[in-house]
């Protein structure tokens, strides 16, 4: 990544940052990891809530489980979605998730998610 486009800067400037500069930094880092271009455009900015392909309405079946079963299923879906977003690169996926690669790999093993796609 070499720069952020004016439209990308516009998205970042118009977003409310309730956290602090670390929140902004994390969004830029996550977006840069996934972006395969030299320029980060507005559609590449991964604001909270847009960094995963999961949507609650498409996973209503989770409400059929007890808390622990639903949590386990969500984690499994989350790991799969992050891997998909990282083109099944475990190192990139761990960075997106904000955890160490070894921890991400342990979660993959525990929840039986492979990195083959």
Q: Is 48 left (phi over 0), alpha (psi -120 to 50) or beta?
A: beta
Mean pLDDT of 96-113: 92
pLDDT tens per residue across span 12-48: 888 887 767 888 888 888 788 777 788 888 888 877 6
What are the residue boundaries of the structural domains of the chain, listed by start?
3-44, 56-110
**Span 56-110: which CATH code?**
1.10.10
């Amino acid at each position: 990544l070499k720069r952020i486009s004016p439209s990308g800067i516009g998205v970042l400037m118009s977003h409310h940052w309730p956290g602090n500069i670390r929140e902004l930094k994390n969004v830029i880092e996550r977006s840069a990891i996934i972006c395969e271009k030299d320029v980060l455009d507005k559609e590449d900015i991964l604001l909270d809530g847009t960094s995963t392909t999961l949507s609650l309405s498409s996973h209503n079946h989770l409400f059929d489980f007890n808390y622990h079963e639903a949590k386990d299923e969500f984690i499994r879906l989350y790991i799969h979605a992050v891997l998909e977003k990282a083109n099944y690169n475990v190192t990139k996926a761990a960075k997106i998730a904000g955890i160490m690669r070894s921890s991400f790999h342990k979660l993959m093993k525990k929840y039986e998610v492979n990195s083959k796609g």
